[in-house]
């Protein structure tokens, strides 16, 4: 088995790195931007990507993409995540666009794909509900077709970027008389529609990234239905599988591990570099192995996808491994740095621009969002091992 990249792949990786160095100030993530300032910054750099078409490299050429395969997209994702490229993950590009290409009408493709490619619209996902998280088939938000519109009522929660989004991808129930998996549909919702209320949810890091969204008699044109009515569950499973399989968690962990390794190698305690202590070296080596394993499991998911196989098991496995190793790394780094690790990025004494303090809090979410680790282990048991439902 050859784990190497082709010369063309290596040349592309070098090209992406060169673009990042020329385009992004090296200290951009040390500017202490608030969430809205960071979003503006991310939009600015997203537009600088437009001439390269790298944002849509995985799109078919018929839709304005480059028609590159999944491996090139993987290289790009690894590089922009590792270098902390602002706005590296775009739900409109990575989730909504593939959904429209697969199940959207010609009119929906003409209307939405161009603005997504040009970063004109920002998108959010309206999936999770207060009583419907990992078991999304139990969602209750109701959409009733009345004339030419669906009238939507319900509540969504933990919606990343909903306060900044122009459009939302809504999972809702359009039939209550059938088994729960068969009555779900997807709608494209204008987030400025009357009846849409967005309220902030402040997370452990003090950031406003997520929200709860209330929909009260929101009218959505019936031509904003994606796919067939009541068949949205199958589209939802595909969207979640793709999102769970992102390489971002493992790549973020690799970058943080490199930062922590540099810190302990250059920092002394009682005249002795921290990196010479056996327990420090062993823990970091174990984490390096775990991070590589998480990356390689995702590589296997890409291999399965390219070869026409179902990558659901691998996507769930890489999601579990990337989230759990990130938590272990953040906890290990916090212990190594002692009280300094608890300082946030606004303190002049904080090491590594306060990333340890932030990641220690932020990674709590990594084993919960996009399906808990327990749910994903059930997916692996059923879809990967062929075991019956528990």
Q: Which domains does the chain have, with CATH numbers?
A: 7-89 (1.10.540.10), 123-231 (2.40.110.10), 245-384 (1.20.140.10)
Per the model's pLDDT, the better-predicted residue between 157 and 337 turns out to be: 157
Q: Could you give the CA distance from residue 228 to residue 87 in angstroms, rounded to a whole number?
A: 32
SS3 135: coil
What's phi and psi for 311, nearest 5 deg? Answer: -95, 15
pLDDT digits (tens, 9 = 90+) for 166-178: 999 999 999 999 9
Backbone torsion region of residue 372, taken as left when φ is above 0, otherwise alpha when ψ lies between -120 and 50, otherwise beta: beta
Residue 3: pLDDT over 70: no
In the chain the first and final C-alpha atoms are separated, in Å, by 36
* Kind and range of the H or E run holding 99: helix 97-103
pLDDT (average), residues 261-283:
90
Instruction: Name the pLDDT band for 35 (thresholds 50, 70, 90).
Output: low
Residue 139 has pLDDT above 90, yes or no: yes
Rounded mean pLDDT, 226-230: 94
How do strand 225-226 and strand 123-126 relate by DSSP bridges? unpaired
Burial label for 8, CB within 10 Å (0-12, 13-18, 19+), is: exposed
Among 361, 359, 389, residue whose Cα is nearest residue 375: 389
Question: Are 156 and 124 spatial neighbours (Cβ–Cβ below 8 Å)?
Answer: no
Determine the pLDDT at residue 311.
Answer: 86
pLDDT at 11: 96
pTM to 2 decimal places:
0.87
Query: For residues 335 and 384, what is the distance between their CA atoms, to the nearest angstrom?
Result: 36
Residue reference for tokens 């916090």: 334
Q: Which candidate, 166, 43, 36, 180, places its Cα nearest to that of 96? A: 166
**pLDDT (tens digit, 9 = 90+) per residue, 192-212?**
999 999 999 988 878 788 899
pLDDT at 95: 86
Active site residues: 243
Residue 84 has pLDDT above 90, yes or no: no
**Strands 167-173 and 123-126, sheet pairing:** parallel
Q: CA angle, 257 as apex, 23 and 283 as ends, to 5°?
A: 175
3-state secondary structure of 44: helix
* In the predicted structure, residue 151 carries a pLDDT above the cut 70: yes
- Given a cut of 70, is residue 112 above it in pLDDT? yes
User: How far is 153 from 196, CA to CA, in rounded Å?
Assistant: 10
Q: What is the mean pLDDT of the chain?
A: 88
């Amino acid at each position: 088995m050859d784990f190497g990249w082709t010369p063309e792949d290596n040349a592309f990786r070098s090209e992406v790195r060169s673009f990042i160095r020329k385009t992004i100030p090296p200290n951009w993530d040390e500017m202490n931007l608030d969430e809205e300032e960071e979003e503006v910054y991310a939009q600015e750099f997203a537009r600088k990507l437009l001439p390269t078409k790298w944002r849509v490299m995985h799109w078919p050429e018929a839709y304005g993409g480059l028609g590159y395969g999944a491996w090139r997209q993987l290289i790009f994702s690894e590089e922009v995540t590792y270098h902390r490229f602002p706005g590296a993950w775009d739900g409109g590009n990575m989730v909504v666009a593939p959904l429209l290409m697969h199940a959207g009408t010609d009119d929906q493709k003409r209307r939405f794909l161009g603005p997504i490619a040009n970063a004109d619209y920002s998108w959010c996902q309206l999936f999770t509900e207060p009583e419907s998280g990992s078991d999304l088939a139990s969602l209750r938000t109701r959409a009733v077709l009345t004339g030419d519109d669906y009238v939507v009522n319900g509540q969504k929660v933990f919606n990343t970027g909903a306060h900044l989004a122009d459009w939302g991808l809504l999972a809702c129930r359009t039939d209550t008389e059938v088994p729960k998996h068969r009555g779900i549909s997807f709608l494209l919702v204008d987030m400025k529609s009357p009846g849409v209320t967005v309220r902030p949810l402040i997370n452990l890091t003090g950031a406003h990234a997520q929200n709860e969204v209330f929909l009260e008699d929101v009218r959505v044109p019936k031509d904003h239905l994606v796919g067939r009515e009541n068949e949205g569950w199958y589209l939802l499973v595909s969207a979640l599988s793709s999102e769970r399989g992102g390489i971002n968690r493992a790549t973020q962990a690799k970058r943080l591990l490199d930062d922590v390794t540099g810190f302990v190698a250059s920092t002394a305690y009682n005249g002795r570099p921290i990196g010479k202590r056996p327990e420090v070296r062993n823990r970091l080596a174990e984490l390096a192995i775990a991070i590589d394993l998480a990356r390689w499991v995702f590589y296997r998911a890409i291999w399965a996808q390219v070869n026409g196989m179902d990558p659901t098991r691998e996507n769930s496995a890489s999601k579990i491994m990337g989230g759990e190793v990130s938590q272990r790394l953040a906890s290990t780094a916090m212990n190594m740095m002692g009280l300094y690790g608890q300082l946030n990025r606004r303190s002049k004494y904080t090491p590594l621009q306060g990333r340890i303090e932030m990641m220690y809090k932020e990674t709590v979410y990594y084993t919960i969002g996009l399906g808990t680790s327990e749910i994903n282990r059930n997916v692996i048991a059923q879809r990967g091992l062929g075991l019956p439902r528990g």
